[in-house]
Structure 1
Amino acid sequence: METSNGSASSSAPSNEAPSGDFKLKFCTVCASNQNRSMEAHLRLSEAQYPVISFGTGSLVRLPGPTISQPNVYEFNKTSYDTMFKELESKDPRLYRANGLLNMLDRNRHVKSGPERWQNWQPGLPRLDHASDKGSEGCEGGVVDIVITCEERCWDAVIDDLHNRGAPLNKPVHVINVDIKDNHEEASVGGRGIVDLAKSLNAAAAEERGKMGPALFDQGGSSARSSFDERVPDVLAEWQEKWPNLPATWTLAWF
């Protein structure tokens, strides 16, 4: 991830909870499950959406004292708290100045540690994640919307879903919102993702009302086809409000 500040401008959405009882389930993804996906994870949870998050890289990589000396950790094994304490003991001035300690401090109050997308088994209950922010509603281990924060992460998610062969036969919208990997841009991207979530949730709630909650909530393609067809239009309207966050969409399958 970069540590220099970027710049972006857009109006910030209100951080309101989704209207009514219905809430789409979200998953946010970046390379290391550290900056962009975790900022979006936190903001979606604060807006009361069910949310989980992952990284697609082979290892978790954080900036070190030089470009050739990154701090490298394993997914699913090293907690954010361990990373925070290690970097604080190495060089607190450096890692506070470049924002890593602040980022890791945020992360350790969201969930235990970075998870790798390729190790996730959709449909497997996530009962051991009850302390994660946004965990309520995601206990069943499935989501409706996956939002990646970089094109290569979008490609990795789509390739992985294709290789899995859709064992659950459940549609999932995979949307890439391209966000530069620095702290300021991640903050802007997080606000934009919450705004997108609100628009998607409103469209889904409307179609659910027409279809009937029982049928819609089963998550089958036929029950949700009217919502699936609306997603590109919702995304296009959102893109007009957030032109500095280029977005790409596809419908895939769990």
Structure 2
Amino acid sequence: MYEVAVKAQTNPRPESRNTEATGQVDGELDPYLADGGVRQRRRGGRMGAEGKWRFAMVCSSNMNRSMEAHSLLGRAGLDVASYGTGTHVKLPGPSIHEPNVYDFGTPYGTIYDDLRRKDPDLSVLPLNAVFPLFYSVSASSVGSWYKRNGLLPMLKRNTSVKLAPQRWQDNAGDGVFDMVLTFEERVFDLVNEDMNNREPRLMKSVLIINMDVKDNHEEAGVGAKLALELCQKLQVVDGDWEEIIDDLMIAFEKQHKRKLAYNISFY
């Protein structure tokens, strides 16, 4: 089953009349359409300009999962951006406890050059090095496995998509999105927390979905394909997406055996 992530109520809701049907109180837009976290969008057709949705892919460092999805969705012609929610960008270093740390906004090309300059061998460390939980490689195969899962090819791919990793919490100037897809629960929570801390001004709804994807090269590729399929399904919805979102989520979960969680927030 799908999950609906409910955010904590931050504003008491005054008594209102007919808000669910019209989004108005005594002829005025009700600013409290959204108490309790799962907000009701004002009715009136599908999201996005002329039916085209604007998507955001979000992981922790805007390096692997979100960028793999950004690259694939972009090639498919979708309107997409990508972000991370961490305090800094972290990549494997000399040891698990010594990651390479960069500020968001540091160009991917600069990070690429820095890693090559520091130690060429770092370029063949696995993406999993930051996440020891996902280690599953024998000592005999570690050398060839590292080569197949290098950082430098990932960074080179990223340079072809955009200039630098961007932080979700700093993206207010990037405009609004129709759907945000996160790739782990912690990132999902941070995106919802950030949206909950923003003062709703436009009453423009945004659908926030989480699909857990392990942070390694293979899983990022699988996750990107699933992200593309999900986004394409949403983009072709005829009419109000909120009328079919539950059924769409359930069908997607059954088809792909992937658990999804979603929330609706407002700009």
TM-score by length of 1: 0.74
1:56 matches 2:85:
yes
Cα deviation, residue 100, structure 1: 0.7
Work out which of the residue numbers 61, 70, 73 in structure 2 matches 1:41.
Answer: 70
- Please give the secondary structure, in 2, of the residue aligned with 1:142: coil
Match of 2:154 in 1: 103
Q: Unmatched 5+ residue regions in structure 2?
A: 1-49, 125-146
Q: Output aligned runs, 1:78-227, within 5 Å.
A: 78-96=106-124, 97=147, 98-121=149-172, 124=173, 126=174, 141-203=175-237, 206-207=238-239, 226-227=240-241
Match of 1:161, as an amino acid? Answer: M
Q: Which residue of 1 aligns with 2:260?
A: 247
Letter in 2 for 1:169: M
1:198 Cα deviation after fit? 1.2
The TM-score, its normalising length taken from structure 2, stands at 0.70
Is residue 2:247 matched to residue 1:233? yes
Deviates more, 1:187-196 or 1:163-172: 163-172
Residues 51-79 of structure 1: CA distance to partner in whole angstroms, max 9, x if unpaired? 01110000100111201110000012x10
Distance 1:177 1:242 in 2: 11
Q: Which has the larger radius of gyration?
A: 2
The residue type equivalent to 2:189 in the other structure is: D
Query: Do the aligned partners of 1:37 and 1:53 also contact (CA within 8 Å) in 2?
Result: yes
Q: Which runs of 5+ in 1 are unaligned?
A: 1-20, 127-140, 208-225
Could you list the structure 1 runs, at least 4 aligned residues long, displaced by more than 4 angstroms after superposition: none
Provide the rounded CA distance (Å) in 2 between the counterparts of 1:185 and 1:118.
25
CA distance in 2, matches of 1:246, 1:119: 28
Q: CA RMSD in A?
A: 1.3
Q: Which has the higher strand share?
A: 2
Q: How many residues align?
A: 195
SS at match of 2:250: helix
